[in-house]
Each structure stands twice: as structure tokens, then as C-alpha cells.
Structure 1
Amino acid sequence: MSKIPRMFPRTRMVNRNQQAQFDITIKGASHSHWQDPYHLLLTLNWFWFFVAIAFFYLIINTVFALLYLAGGDCLENARPGSFADAFFFSVQTMASIGYGAMHPKTNYANIIVTIEALVGLMALAMSTGLMFARFSLPSAKVLFSNVAVITPYNGVPTLMLRAANKRRNQILEAQVRVSLLRDEVTQEGEFMRRFYDLELVRSQTPIFALTWTIMHQIDKNSPLYSVTLESLIEEHSELVVILTGLDETVSQTIHARHSYIESEILWNQRFVHIFSKKRNGRWLIDYNHFHDVEAGEWGMGNGEWGMGNGE
């Protein structure tokens, strides 16, 4: 397999931000958010969602205000040519407020009111549906460690990373997959971006309530066997972690993802213990040290994951 030269600044393919897209630029294919407004409104954060709703609300009322002005003196008790009166009459009509101070006095105005009433009903239904859809979307609150470490486990160099359920409930039938993503060039000179699944010591748990140390033993069958830090950099390697499970509160499947690039994988390190027992006999989990690591003295070499011992 040919080496791949490093020509660009290091970026990760799988963004750690759960709301963000992959760090990929697409060319030659249409992928505008405006072609899928429903998905866009579901994925916006709450601040920009309310900004978008307010913006469309103002736009719709502005359009109908201009239509009322186009009809001339068609509103009773409205100042002729007053955009403010036409706009606030539109707001009252769309919201079915009906103060009675202003009302249509021509057939033209009655037709516009009829159309606006229908548009208002549809807008209210769509806004309510979007709010319900956003609240009902299942979301995972899973905390992953900032780094992954390499440390012996039963005498075998083992890749380890931590995950924790940040909610005070349980994730049932949780499953996790860890894949190695790296660039390769075939003997024919073709570039490929390939995924290699890593076999885990334990890939599922019936109840995920607290923390989970995810482990992959680096033996002769591991895609990580005998790789070095330099080869990880040359191949733009990345570890991708996908966790799924059933949220017991909403009875829906949730997903969480994370990734690690070569600078976030530490050799000869291990995670600091976060479990301790209090005087009353209850267990204590200290999340203040969830991401902390400490150096080990196991002689695993510097940046190479081979088994050693003559293998």
C-alpha cells in the first residue's frame, strides 16, 4: 500500500458537534438547506428557530399589508395609505383578534381577509407541528472522553475510551461500534477512504446508566496492529465511535457519535479512577476527572501498537 502525502491541514471527517455536518465540502451536487426547509427547521438550534418563525411571521403580515394598501381605501377607520394601520390590521386578522376598530369595507378587502384567514390557520398548524416535532425528536446526552488511551489489559495493549450517560435515566440495550477510518491507495493507484471495524471486548450492555469503558485489544487481528503515530498521520486516520440504544423515558432509539484523530490518542496512559466509596457505603462517581489520564510505566514503546515479545 502506497504512502499518502500530507498536503492539507488536519481536519476530522466526523464532527464532534452532534448538530453539525461532516467536515466535507461537496461539489457538483445540490445540497442547499433551502431545498429541504423541514429538515432545516428541525435541526436549527432553538434561538435561530424562533428567529426564523418571527421572520416569516413578519414577512407574511407585510405581504398582506401591502395587498390591503393596493386596494386603496378598503379598511374602515384606517388612515388612507398608512402602512402601519394595514400591517396591524393584518396581524389582528391572522391572529383572529377582532378588535372591531378596523374592518374591511369593500369586496376586495373581504377577499384578502378570507385568504389571510386561511393562510393564518395553515401557518398556525405548521408552527405547532414543527414545535411538536422538535420536542419529540429523540436526543442522546452521552459524554465521551476527550481522548482515547492505550494501556495494557490482561497483558495485551488495549485501546480504551470512556462514555457516560449524562441523563438521570437508563439507556436500554445500548450498543457501540468503533471503526478506524483511514486513507489508502491501492496497487492500481486508486485512492480510497476505508472503514475498518474494531472488535470490542464488550460491544453491548443491557443497561447503560452510568459510565462505560469501551475497549479494543490490539492483537494480530486488529487493524491497529503495528501501526505507528507517523502512519496514522500519513493515512489521515480517525477513530469513529457510534453508540445507539433505547431511551427508557421516551421508548425511542437514540444515537450518539464521536471521533478521535491521532493527536487525541495517547500512548502509555490510562484513565484516572472516578469511582470511590463514601463513608455511608454508597458509591461516588466523580465526573470532574472523567477526562483525566495519568502516565503508566508498562514499557509499551513510544507510538507503536505492536504486540512485541517476538510476535
Structure 2
Amino acid sequence: MINKIKDPGVGNASAQYAKRMLKTDGSFNLKYKNKPRKFSEAYHFLVNISWFYFFSLSFLIGFLVNALFAIIYLIIGIEEIVKPSGSVFQDFLNAFFFSTQTFTTVGYGAMSPHGILSGFVASVEAFLGLMLFAFVTGLIYGRFSKPKSAVRFSEHLILRDFNHGRAIMFRLVNNRKSVMIKPKISVTLMLSEPNEAGEYQNNFYLLKLERNEIDYLPTTWTVVHELDEESPLYEISNQEIVKLHGELIIMMSYYDESFNQEVHKIHSYLLNEAKIDYKFAKAQNFNKQGALVLDYDLFEAIEPYKS
């Protein structure tokens, strides 16, 4: 029996030219409009951006803060820190370097505040520097300690003959040396189809898999959905399947011994990406010492399938 289900959370609304629901990085292909911004969401934003943008933003903020305090020292009078050079640019550089030393609490001793006002501003800046460094340190720890899935999905989705019938399959691998405990997976087929009114809507089907759960995953796992009488794709030819406006939404979870908690991973494949009559190349074998060897270079490899 075909297992048609209700909306799992992505919505029934669709359009003739609707793009994929999930991006290749596992995030939802969703654009926000008139979404309120809150300062409390800054931590979530800074923890989830890439390392490149995180450090770029950190250095930019540090530069701007020190440039602002350098201007304040110039307004107060550079003579309260160091002897004026006669050049505005050189005085700004001296004020900027003094601000950097104060902000980082390094204090080389070559420059120091000589007045009450400059001393007060330097004290405020040093306190602000300590707060910002503590904040950045907490963010770095949060980024490192955040549980992240080690699952890597194959680039290709395969559609081929299987067990006197047909099957659609993909495979995944553990990208770490740690063992995934009790990995389990569910695959939902989302088909965008016109209704009686001619409007496009999403229909959802929970696909029956050869195996939904295994005990552990040290190497690879090929996930198989047979196109039998219980499959919504049973009576559809291979050429028609790749023309469907459909997407496989995959949810995988497992217990990660590194983080001591359950970790989740979401991925998707478009039906029009399926490779017909191909199979995955063997990515693991035994060496002469009898040890099982997993070759990650062969994980994505596919080859023509001959029945």
C-alpha cells in the first residue's frame, strides 16, 4: 500500500517552476521577508556563519572600534599620549596603535595616557576590550563544541534494475573515524503536481526502504527504495521519473560518541538528477594484512550497470 502522508512541515503550496526545497548544504531554500531582527539572535548568527566570515567580521569590528577610539584620542589631544608629530596621519597612526595596545591590554609602555580624560577613555576601552574578547572566546568555544554531523551523502542518486524489479538508491559514508551508533533514516518523496483546479500543490509519500536502521556505521551504507507495488513510482517508467517535479527529502539521525548526544542531518535529491542504469563503484576492500580499507576517492564513483 502506498504510504501517502500529510505535510511533514514544508507546506503543501507549490508552483510550476518551484525550485528544490532543500539546498545542497541541507538548509531550506527559504527567503524571509519583513522578518523582525533581534539582537538576541546575534549568537545564533555568529555561531553558524563560516569560519572565514566569522574571523573577517571579528577583525573588521576590532579595526573599527580601534579606529573610533583613535579619533577620540585625537579629539582629546594626541599630546596626552605621545608627542605630536606635526602630521595628522602620523598622529592618527600613533593613536590607533595606542588604542590597539589598550584594547588588547598589551601595554608595551612606549605610549601611555598623561591626562585624566585620556586615562578615563583608556580605562573604558580596556574594559570594553576585555568584554569583547570574552564574547569572541565564548563564540569560538560555541562553534567548536556545536554538534555537527559527520554524514556525507553521495553526489549521485541512482535508478536501476534491482531484485527482479527496479530501485532508487543513494549511499552515505561516515566522514570521521568515530563510529555512528544506531543510525536511522527516513526518506519522504515530495511531488509537486497540479490539482483539479489546475493549481500546483505538494503531495508527500513516506518511502519504504530496504533498511531504515542499522546498528553502527564505520564505513558506507547504500540506502535502497524498491519500486514495488508499495512505491508511488511503481507504474512510472525510468524516463518519466526523471521528468517528475519531485524531491527526496532525507532525515538521518544517529548517536555520536564524540558529542555524547544524538545528531541529525538533512539532505535531498531531485528526481531529475537520478542516473539511470548506473551502480556505485566498490569503495572498500581488504589489504594484504587483512584490514578493511575504505577509499574515500571511490565513494562518489559510479559505473554503468549491466543486468
* TM-score band w.r.t. shorter chain: 0.7 to 0.9
Give, as a single letter, the amino acid of the residue that structure 2 aligns with 1:222.
S
Give percent identity, aligned residues only: 30
Superposition deviation, residue 278 in structure 1? 3.7
1:247 to 1:189, Cα distance in 2 relative to 1, 3 A:
same
Show the counterpart of 1:305.
Answer: none
Aligned residues of 2:183 and 2:217 also touching (Cα < 8 A)? yes
Partner residue of 1:141 out of 139, 150, 157: 150
Corresponding residue SS for 1:224:
coil
**Structure 1 residue 263 and structure 2 residue 272: aligned?**
yes
Q: Is 1:15 the counterpart of 2:23 in the alignment?
A: yes
Is 1:168 the counterpart of 2:177 in the alignment? Answer: yes
Structure 2 distance, partners of 1:163, 1:295, is: 20
Deviations 1:64-108 (A, max 9, x none): 111112213562434276211211111111122223332223332
Aligned residue in 2 for 1:49: 54
- The 1:294/1:105 distance shift into structure 2, 3 A limit, reads closer
Relative to structure 1, the CA distance from residue 165 to residue 71 in structure 2 (aligned partners, 3 Å threshold; closer, same or farther) is same
2:231 to 222, 237, 247: 222
Distance 2:186 2:245 in 1: 20
Which whole-Å CA distance do the structure 2 matches of 1:34 and 1:66 have between them? 27
CA shift digits 1:167-211 (9 cap, x unpaired): 111111211121212213333444323432212121112211111
In the TM superposition, what is the alpha-carbon distance from 1:227 to its structure 2 partner?
A: 2.9
Q: Read off the aligned partner of 1:129 and give its amino acid letter.
A: G
* Change in 2 beyond 3 A, CA 1:84/1:281: closer
Structure 2: runs of 5 or more not aligned: 1-13
Q: Secondary structure at the match of 1:242?
A: strand
Q: Could you tell me how far apart the structure 1 residues matched to 2:67 and 2:23 are?
A: 40
Q: 1:223 to 1:34 in 2, by over 3 A?
A: farther
In structure 1, C-alpha distance between the alignment counterparts of 2:83 and 2:136, rounded to whole Å? 30
Give the whole-Å Cα distance in 1 for the aligned partners of 2:236 and 2:34.
36
For the Cα contact (< 8 Å) 1:229–1:262, is it kept in 2? no
223-232 vs 39-48, greater mean Cα deviation: 223-232
What's 1:238 paired with? 247
Matched residue count: 290
Distance 1:285 1:68, change over 3 A: closer
After superposition, the CA RMSD in angstroms is 2.9
TM-score by length of 1: 0.81
Deviation of the 1:235 alpha carbon: 4.6
Contact 1:274 1:287 in 2 (8 A): yes
